[in-house]
Each structure stands twice: as structure tokens, then as C-alpha cells.
Chains A and B, each alone.
Chain A
Amino acid sequence: DGGITQSPKYLFRKEGQNVTLSCEQNLNHDAMYWYRQDPGQGLRLIYYSQIVNDFQKGDIAEGYSVSREKKESFPLTVTSAQKNPTAFYLCASSTTGVSEKLFFGSGTQLSVL
């Protein structure tokens, strides 16, 4: 079945450590996105990519980094510069276009030890 796979489902980070969240899609979508979800808040865009080897910052990119070396993959690194990383992270993909709907993965819950 086509879809988006995020791993791991739960991740723990120690102080000063970088961690990488995986996102893979087999929907042949050009665009991919990372959103952060905090309790009681909506989703906020971290980074997005509309084509391989290109990506743009979203609203809350500080303390995060991404790469897009393959169409299928869009990993997110939470760096030690992100002082409040505890959140639920959602990866999404879509075809390019103004009104295209997003397809989401099942998320990764990141917590700080």
C-alpha cells in the first residue's frame, strides 16, 4: 500500500544531542513537509521541500535541519540548538499545486531525557 512511513514512533533525546527523524513516502509525491504539533496547538510548519535537493524554511525552522537527497525521503534533524524539542512531529507529502491535499504519516513523539 502507498503511504508515508515515519520512524521511530517514540524517540528520546539527551541534552546536547542531535536526533534524526525518518520520513519515507512511496506515493511518488514531489512535495514533502515537516510539521510540529504541541498539545492544544495547531500544526506549525518547520520545513518543506517541493523538489529533490531543494527545501525552504517554514515558520519555526530554528534548531532544525533537513535534507532532500531522494524524492522518497525527507529526514528531519532536531539539533541541540532546539531548546524545547519535546513535541509530536508529523511528516506529510503531496503533489505540487496550490490546492493539493496533504497525506500524513503517523508521527514521531520526541521527548527530552
Chain B
Amino acid sequence: AQKVTQAQTEISVVEKEDVTLDCVYETRDTTYYLFWYKQPPSGELVFLIRRNSFDEQNEISGRYSWNFQKSTSSFNFTITASQVVDSAVYFCALREYGGATNKLIFGTGTLLAVQP
């Protein structure tokens, strides 16, 4: 069965600290896709990154970076030098290639609070 686990329910940091949000997934497929979304207080989820199972290269986008490790089934997200605007709920999600349905399996989310 496919599953996404975000064990950190809430994280609180002070501005300029680095913070890592953990994501562990389970799937039997060899082809799959992983996503991170950000949900600010406005409620709308915003796409951050998509990664397929064949691409294990880490990715950096400004202050954001992602570490994908198939050996540990993890897709962790690091924010460097956090800012108050980073405060949001962050969701990790999994999409399997196979199957009749076209849906994402979401983790329960991590609430990040960045204090000034």
C-alpha cells in the first residue's frame, strides 16, 4: 500500500535558522513521483517541487533544497536561513505510476512556525 509519513507535526524555529522537514514514503511501484506543497494561512496549496523515482539528484532552489534518497524512502525538504514568510503547513505527496486512479497520496503535513 502507498503511504506518506510526515512525523513532525509542528516545528518552531527562529528566523535565520535552517530547518529540515522530513518525508518518508512507502510504495511498491518502481516508478513514482514525489511532490512538496506549501499551504500558507490563505489556504491555497502551492506547488514547490516534483521529483520522479529515477532522478535522485538533490535539488536546490534559492533557500530551498530537497534530498531524495531511495535507499531510505525519504524525500526531505530543507529551508536555509528561514524567514517569517516561510511559516505555513508543508505537505509531502506521492503519486504512483500504476493504478487506475489519478491521485496524490498526501502526508499529514508539518506546520512550520518561523518566529521573528
Tell me the bound Cα distance from A106 to B102 in angstroms. 22
Closest to B31 in A: A98
User: Which residues from chain B contact A33 at a C-beta distance below 8 Å?
Assistant: 103
Tell me the bound Cα distance from A98 to B46 in angstroms. 19
User: Which residues from chain B contact A44 at a C-beta distance below 8 Å?
Assistant: 106
A64 touches B (CB below 8 Å):
no
For window 30-55 of B, CB contacts with A under 8 Å fall at 33, 35, 37, 42-47, 50, 52
CB-CB under 8 A for A106 and B44, given A42-B109, A98-B33: yes
* Interface bits A15-54 vs B (CB < 8 Å: 1, else 0): 0000000000000000101000000111111001010000
In the complex, which range does the number of interface residues on chain B fall in?
Answer: 20 to 34
B91 touches A (CB below 8 Å):
yes
CB-CB under 8 A for A56 and B101, given A42-B4, A42-B109, A98-B95: yes
Query: What number of A residues sit within 8 Å (CB to CB) of B?
Result: 26
B47 touches A98 (CB 8 A): no
B45 touches A104 (CB 8 A): yes
B9 touches A (CB below 8 Å):
yes
Chain A positions within 8 Å of B, measured between CB atoms, are 31, 33, 40-45, 48, 50, 56, 58-59, 88, 90, 92, 96, 98-99, 101-107
